[in-house]
Amino acid sequence: MEWAVTVVALIGGAVLAGTMAWLEKRPRTDLKPRMVPTTPVMFIGVLIAIMALVHILTLAGIDVPKRGR
Which pLDDT does position 62 carry in this prediction? 87
Chain segment 9-47, per-residue pLDDT in tens: 999 999 999 999 999 999 888 888 888 899 999 999 999
Mean pLDDT, to the nearest integer, of 40-56? Answer: 96
Q: Is the entire prediction scored with pTM above 0.85?
A: no
DSSP code for 69: -
What does each C-alpha distance from 3 to 53, 57, 62, 66 come to in angstroms?
A: 11, 11, 15, 26
| pLDDT band at residue 52 using 50, 70 and 90 as cut-offs | very high
